[in-house]
Amino acid sequence: MNILYATLGLVGVYIYVSFVSLLWEGLDRKLVARMQRRMGPPLLQPFYDFLKLVSKEAIIPRDSNKLFEIAPVLALAASISLLAYTPVGFGPLFATKGDVLVFLYLLALIAFIRVIGGVSSGSPYAQIGAQREIIMLASREVSMMLGLFAILWRLAKLGAERPFSLETLYQYNIWEIGTPLTIVGTLILLIVFIFWLASEIEVGYFNIPEAETEVAEGPMAEYSGRHLALFKLSSALKEFASASLVVAIFFPWGLSGYLGMSGIGAIFVDLVFHTIKVFIVLFVSMSVFRAVTGRLRITQAVNLFWSRILPASIIGAILLAMDILGVIA
Amino acid sequence: MNALPWLIITPLFGAFSMPILGLLGRKVREYWAVIISGFTFAIAARIFYSIWRSNEILLYTLGDVSPIGEGVKFPIRIIWEVDLFGALLALTVAFVSFLAIVYSLGYMKEDSGLDKYYTLVLVLELGMLGIVITGDIFNFYVFIEIMSIASYVLVAFRNDTWEGIEAGIKYMFVGSLASSFILLGIALLYGQYGTLTMAYLAVKIAENPTLVSRVALAFLIGGLLFKSGAVPVHMWLSDAHPAAPSSISAMLSGLVIKVGGVYAIARIIFGIFNPGLHEYLKVFGAPSIGVNTLGWAIIFFGCLTLIVGNAMAVIQTDMKRLFAFSSVGQIGYILLGIGIGVVAYGEKAGEIALTGAVYHIVNHAVIKALLFFVAGAVIHQVGTKNLNELSGLARRMPFTTLSFLIGAAAIIGLPPLNGFASKWLIYESSAMYNPILAVIAVIGTVFSLAAYTRVLFTFLGIESERVKTAREPGKTMLIPMLLLMLVIILMGLLPWQINEKVMLPVAKMLEQLKGEYIMALVKFVGGV
């Protein structure tokens, strides 16, 4: 029975998140347009785009192989499974000990499937884009993992029942530890995560693999019709899931506790409140970042990650570790 | 009826009858090889199942009911002593050998001298089965030699190619040297203790651990590290595996280096120089063998092997050479697991490490067999193994590419496949024992990820001229690949169940905390 409920929950979350994440896309485009004194598209534009792409003819390049057609389906499947492990206002549906690894794995897998799809298209543009995506993937994940593991380790020390599950983020809050070292460390890690989020969803500085003007959409260069629609949807889901991680780590407060609610109502209120927080985080890390920064070169971006973000992440993790080990009492 | 002798009789009969049956024609010869190896597989499965059910060590004496001689109090006959570890290895050996023989039907079609080929493959299988079931150290040497000589010849089987001959000579020279190290170690042990039965030798060594026993141990481990392709002495492997026919590479890489290498190391350490016994002696201040030194030596070679092997795999342009170096790297993980199992003997970390090592032996045998079958299919259909010429194979050989994708994902250790659980156990135990070892293990995996991603991109990339006319190979080559893929996926879906039901009991029986391996023999002696 439990599996049945969890499956129903996953279907519900999937439908909700696909709606909300596409809505955010529309909101984002509107906001960025306003920042540049344009009217921008209507709010529901991504839905129209999606429907139109689905109805269009999908062109399969002559030089492509089977994986070209399979990759979009795999990417969407991986994104849906990612939602089962994403904290969305409450603990992940399939929360277990150590599920953070599954989350990270699926997140990386989605990027990797995009790369495989790109490489399989047989187009040199897509290959260049795919190479860049792999380089970015290798650069950005290390600093994020270090920060995430440091925080979860710190929380596990407070006596979590399932250590290294994303569920612990709702049982304990990194801010409530309250010592100066943790607060400074967490703030540093927040900056790391904002940069990571921007690169995960490839905006602003990090719009490198897709770079329309340079390599014609990168890995997606040859995709059209329903395949492209599936990829767009899975990217939107991934965007939401990545932002959810940041929200769950740094802003995990729920609303239902204050309102004294319980049951289905509380879940719904928390979900909506979580969505609003995700929108705020995405506004900072996506819309503003996209509007005010240009693209870096791939070497600059890699350099940024290894020589700025990673040291910041190390410092943040060391501060958290110093706090728990009592180096400075 | 005891099925154990049939495990040796069947392939022996198959090999010896092959030259006569081969006269009846090509088809008969091929079917005969398939029937014999299939039958061996069934026997191995039966033996494994009965030992797994009863959870007892099976002791078989050649020529009598009891290994003890008349009027004397010690074993004088050759015994075969099979615990779960040996039975599991026998099952793996028989399974992969069976698939390799089926694969050969299509793969070796264009070669001549196939009557010798099938005889040699059955002899190779026989040698490996003998190693895993024997409980007599000289018998063990004999089977190691049977296996080694069969593999020297099979590496050089295509003797009209320069690389086959070169690799065969290299393999034969270093392999004979290694074998003589092993023989020297055995001679020293015999001279000192006067017995060749492994379990009885363990008792004798514990009674009187002299310098000679330590020197013998060093010779044995040194020789066996050669055979397993550990790093300073891995150079034969990277030549022999690419040069051999692919069905043989699958057996060499999946089985020979494990059975003749890491299995034998584990058996000699845990069976003859039992760490538990010597820890126990140390408590009473009695002379004993320093198992920690031994364990750290193995960990050292394990770490070196997994870094160098995987790193060398990244820079290869020859597909089979890349797989060969990757095999070296995976041997490193197994050695690391065995090493931690020795230094952390009796602790939780040690048990997990040993479980991981045993699990990885089986997983890697299956995965690497699949990968070499893929390489064989590519060579057979396209005629090159140079990765720079193989770009864009996925379009013409989708099934082969899928097999490669599954094999590569499994060997890197991606979760829904079988490589994950075994590597996870090794990471976990090494992190528990010493985090630096875990870091080294992860670095090795990063290299391996890089190596396989590169091959994957080659397979998927833009089609080159060379592969334009390629087609999928025939059914006899595709079916073994399909079966291995199914095994990888099924084992990947039930990782912790397999771990709990099979691998953990195997590791416990190998570890023999209560000296079960020795007790199985001592029972006959009646109180030593």
The average confidence (pLDDT) of chain A is 86
pLDDT of residue B472: 85
Output the furthest CA–CA distance in chain A (Å, rounded): 66
Q: What is the mean pLDDT of residues B335-349?
A: 90
Q: What is the mean pLDDT of residues B209-217?
A: 90
Q: What is the pLDDT of residues B187-211, one digit of tens each?
A: 999 999 988 888 888 888 888 888 9
Residue A51's pLDDT band, with cuts at 50, 70 and 90, is very high
pLDDT, tens only, A269-300: 888 888 999 999 999 888 898 888 888 888 88
Q: Check CB contact under 8 Å for B392 and A63.
A: yes
Q: Global pTM?
A: 0.92
| Helices B435-460 & B291-314 angle (0-180, nearest 10) | 20
CB distance B254 to B356 below 8 Å: no
**In this complex, is the C-beta atom of A116 within 8 Å of any C-beta atom belonging to chain B?**
yes
CB within 8 Å: A122 and B456 = no
> Residue B216: is its pLDDT beyond 70?
yes
The Cα–Cα gap between A14 and A7 comes to 10
State pLDDT tens for residues B154-186: 999 988 888 889 999 999 999 999 999 999 999
Identify the pLDDT of residue A215.
63
| pLDDT at site A211 | 67
pLDDT in tens, B24-47: 888 898 999 999 999 999 999 999
Tokens of B35: 């029937």
Give the gap in angstroms from C-alpha A296 to the nearest C-alpha of chain B. 25
Find chain A residues with C-beta within 8 A of B392's C-beta: 63, 65, 122
Distances (CA, A) of B303 to B306, B339, B452, B470: 5, 10, 20, 40
DSSP state of B61: E
- What is the ipTM, given to two decimal places? 0.87
Query: Is it the case that residue A120 has pLDDT exceeding 50?
Result: yes
Q: What percent of chain A shows pLDDT beyond 90?
A: 27
pLDDT tier for residue B528 given thresholds of 50, 70 and 90 = very low
CA distance B336 to B265: 12
Is the confidence at residue B523, as pLDDT, over 80?
Answer: no
Cβ contacts below 8 Å, chain A against chain B, sum to 38
Q: How far is CA A308 from CA A184, A283, A284, A303, A314, in A?
A: 17, 23, 20, 8, 10
Chain B residue with Cα closest to A101:
B415
pLDDT at B525: 67
Does position A329 have pLDDT exceeding 60, yes or no? no
* Percent above pLDDT 70 for chain A: 96
B395, B446, B465: best to mutate for the A interface, most A CBs within 10 A: B395
Average pLDDT over residues A138-155: 88
Give a three-class secondary structure readout of B76-109.
Answer: CCCEEEECHHHHHHHHHHHHHHHHHHHHHHHHCC
Contact B320, B249 (CB under 8 A): yes
Query: A65 contacts in B (CB within 8 Å)?
Result: 392, 394-395, 398, 401, 460
Q: What is the mean pLDDT of chain B?
A: 89
Question: Residues of chain B with pLDDT > 70: what percent?
Answer: 99
Verify whether the Cβ–Cβ distance A134 to B453 is below 8 Å: yes
Using DSSP's 3-state secondary structure scheme, residue A221 falls into coil
- Label residues B73-92 b or e (16+ Cβ within 10 Å = b): ebbeebbbbbbbbbbbbbbb
Per-residue model confidence (pLDDT) at position B527: 47
Q: Is B501 exposed, middle or buried (0-12, 13-18, 19+ CB in 10 A)?
A: exposed
User: Taking CB atoms and an 8 Å limit, are B463 and A120 in contact across chains?
Assistant: no
Count other Cβ atoms within 10 Å, centred on residue B262. 29
SS3 per residue for B167-224: HHHHHHHHHHHHHHHHHHHHHHHHHHHCCCEHHHHHHHHHHCCCHHHHHHHHHHHHHH
pLDDT of residue B510: 85
Q: Do B461 and A134 touch (CB under 8 A)?
A: no
How much is the pLDDT for A74? 92
**B-proximal residues of A, 47-106, CB under 8 Å:** 63-67, 102, 105
Are B462 and A65 in contact (CB < 8 Å)? no
Q: Is A282 exposed, middle or buried (0-12, 13-18, 19+ CB in 10 A)?
A: buried
Mean pLDDT lowest for which of A170-179, A227-236, A240-249, B373-382? A170-179
Percent pLDDT > 90 in chain B is 52
Q: For the segment A53-98, what is each residue's pLDDT rounded down to a tens digit?
A: 999 888 888 888 888 889 999 999 999 999 989 888 888 888 888 8
The verdict on A121 touching B (C-beta cutoff 8 Å) is no
At residue A258, does pLDDT exceed 80? no
pLDDT for B452 equals 92
